[in-house]
Each structure stands twice: as C-alpha cells, then as structure tokens.
Amino acid sequence: MSTITITDAAHDYLADLLSKQNTTGIGIRIFITQPGTQYAETCIAYCKPGEQKAEDTALALASFTAWIDAVSEPFLEDAVVDYATDRMGGQLTIKAPNAKVPMVNEDSPLNERINYYLQTEINPGLASHGGQVSLIDVVDDGIAVLQFGGGCQGCGQADLTLKEGIEKTLLQRIPELKGVRDVTDHSNKENAYY
C-alpha cells in the first residue's frame, strides 16, 4: 500500500484537469527525478492508458488511477499532494519530506549502495549522452564491475568517465569500496571471465 496522500481538494482538481484531456482512462503518474539527492524533484504527469510502467504501483482513487513509480516509491513515503487556494486562485502542492533522503545507509548491502548511487548520482549525468551504467557484480573484496550501455558503450571517453567520474564518486560515498572496473575492460586478464 502506498504511503502517499492525495487530498480531496487535489483529487478534485486533478480529476477536473484529466476530464479536459479527452482521453478515456487517463490518470496521473507520480515520480521523483534523482530521488535521494539534493536535486530530487517530485513530478506529476499525465498518464494515458499504457504509458505506465510494468513495475508501477497503481493507486486507485475515486475518479482516476495514480501510478506510483517503483524507484520513487520509498522516497514518496509520507508525501502529501494538496491543492491550496489563495487570492490568486490555487495551486497543486507536493510535499515529499523524504524525496531527498538517501534510502541506503552504511548497513545496507554493498551492491544496494552502489546501485543507489549509480541511479541517483551517476546515471542522471550520463543520461544527457544517452548512456547509463549498471552494476554487474562486486568481486575481489570490493571491486565493482560495471557495464556501460547506451551512448557510453564503445565511447572513447568511457575509461575517463569510469575513473574520473564514477569511481571517484563511488569511493567518496562508499569508503570500503576498493575501485571499479568496466566489464568490457580486457586489459586486466587475471580475473577475466569469458
């Protein structure tokens, strides 16, 4: 069960907006960009039937469905969507007190912490180049094996990005991590697996 609250005022306001879209079954999708970082922003978007993602949580409301993004869901804990009226009219407000709170701590498993920082800090930057990086494995007592995808694959700058950007960030965040290695790095053959 989702822990997000959508007030009646917000529900009615959104239902009214949705009714003007002339799309049967249209709902909303709630997600956070860069969750768990100081750049986190909570977003509400129109969600036509079929636009939701398979892993989204459906929150059935009186007039429409709100789809909650799976990655964002833990960060939406105690979030309140409200519609506040004032002299100027009114506006939709979203208070998500946990949007910027990292959902990992020193006690979280190493792979969870690595994945968390990849999703929140590294991939948003790589996305501008159409790339992303994912964790394949943690080997040799603390070496993260990463795989580049999208626009990063085969990019001449990938090594630099890996060492200067990704490794530096992860080592700052996760002290016991020893380093990172690209899964496609064949210069180090001693532990290579084919």
Ligand-binding annotation for 155, yes or no, is yes
Place of tokens 């997600």: 31
Q: Which long-range contacts (CB under 8 A, 24 or more apart) does 128-136 make?
A: 129/155, 131/155, 133/166, 135/111, 136/183
**CA distance linking residue 160 with residue 155, whole number of Å:** 10
Query: What residues contact 110, with CB distance under 8 A and at least 6 apart?
Result: 138, 142, 174, 176, 177
Distance, in Å, from the CA atom of 16 to the CA atom of 63, rounded to the nearest integer, reads: 9
Residue 152, marked binder: yes
Residue 164 phi, psi dihedral angles, 5° rounding: -75, -45
Mark the binding-site residues, compressed into ranges.
152, 155
Mark the binding-site residues for [4Fe-4S] cluster, compressed into ranges.
152, 155
